[in-house]
């Protein structure tokens, strides 16, 4: 990645975070703040490195002070992780978690109801 490609790459990662994680925010720092608990620690650190470089990347002369190789490595890691997220699997997992909690609550209620009925002598 060259210095000129850095702002576009950071903007692409921001758009990818918005699409895959639902993080709102115009900048990478804002999107990272929204999605901080959905990312692993290592990926979050790499994204934070990119977020720190974002203001410098927007300025033509300050962009030259950035370490393009380290930012390229960080961008590749974050992009690889975000591209590996399967939205359908996350949606299915959310529904299964919701249904599992509902079934557990219904079983706990039934057990409590049976216990009260036995205690009161109706069963």
Phi-psi map region of 121: left, alpha, beta (phi>0 left; psi -120 to 50 alpha): left
pTM: 0.79
Confirm if 10 and 53 have CB atoms less than 8 A apart.
yes
Q: Tell me the C-alpha distance between 57 and 74, whole Å.
A: 15
For the stretch 66-118, pLDDT in tens is 999 999 999 999 999 999 999 999 999 999 999 999 999 999 999 999 999 99
DSSP 1-53: --GGGHHHHHHHHHHHHHHHH----SSHHHHHHHTGGGS-HHHHHHHHHHHHH
């Amino acid at each position: 990645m060259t210095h000129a490609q850095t702002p576009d790459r950071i903007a692409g990662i921001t758009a990818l975070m918005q699409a895959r994680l639902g993080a709102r925010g115009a900048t990478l720092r804002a999107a990272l703040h929204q999605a901080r608990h959905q990312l692993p620690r290592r990926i979050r650190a790499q994204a934070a490195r990119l977020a720190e470089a974002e203001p410098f990347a927007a300025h033509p002369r300050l962009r030259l002070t950035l370490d393009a190789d380290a930012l390229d490595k960080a961008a590749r890691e974050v992009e690889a992780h975000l591209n590996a997220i399967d939205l359908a699997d996350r949606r299915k997992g959310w529904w299964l978690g919701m249904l599992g909690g509902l079934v557990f609550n219904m079983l706990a209620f039934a057990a409590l109801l049976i216990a009260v009925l036995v205690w009161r002598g109706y069963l």
